[in-house]
Amino acid sequence: MKSKLMLVVLALFTGFSVLQAQVVKIPESSKKSFNEKYPKATKVEWGNNVSSYVARFNIGTVGYTAHYHLDGTWDYTERSLEKSQLPAAVLEAYSKSRIADWEYGSSAYVENSHNEKVYRIEARKGVEKKYIFFDKDGKEVKSVSGV
């Protein structure tokens, strides 16, 4: 009897989780903007959180993530990169930066709605996390701290 009850509870929970995952309502303006900006996108998956909408997709074999504001306007798109894929000037600037001795986390190429095209490097030191953004020539554009 207990095992049947557990199966029913598990089935209800699983069904609710699937239903909840499918209830993502994406603004038509986001979808339209996305389709115009990325007409060759495949494997598009939309998601949302409290402050934005996100589209994960591929162009060819390369994966991207596009971020949209709640009003549906495009904010930025990122493409994850291996450290070895960063331009030489960015790698050199990073090696001389204030976070060079921190644990390397990840890197990405980021294009935003302000027409900026930058390389982002994430590094950690203990619980502290920092993102440093470089232009293609290795000039630091900005940095952001996080936890």
**Tens of pLDDT, residues 31-90:** 999 999 999 999 999 998 888 899 999 999 999 999 999 888 999 999 999 999 999 999
Domains annotated on the chain, with CATH: 82-147 (3.10.450.360)
Are 106 and 124 in contact by the 8 Å Cβ rule? The answer is: no
pTM: 0.77
How many angstroms separate the CA atoms of 34 and 32, rounded? 5
Three-state secondary structure call for residue 31: helix
Which residue type does 58 have? N
Are 110 and 118 in contact by the 8 Å Cβ rule? The answer is: yes
Q: What would the two tokens of residue 71 be?
A: 């009003």
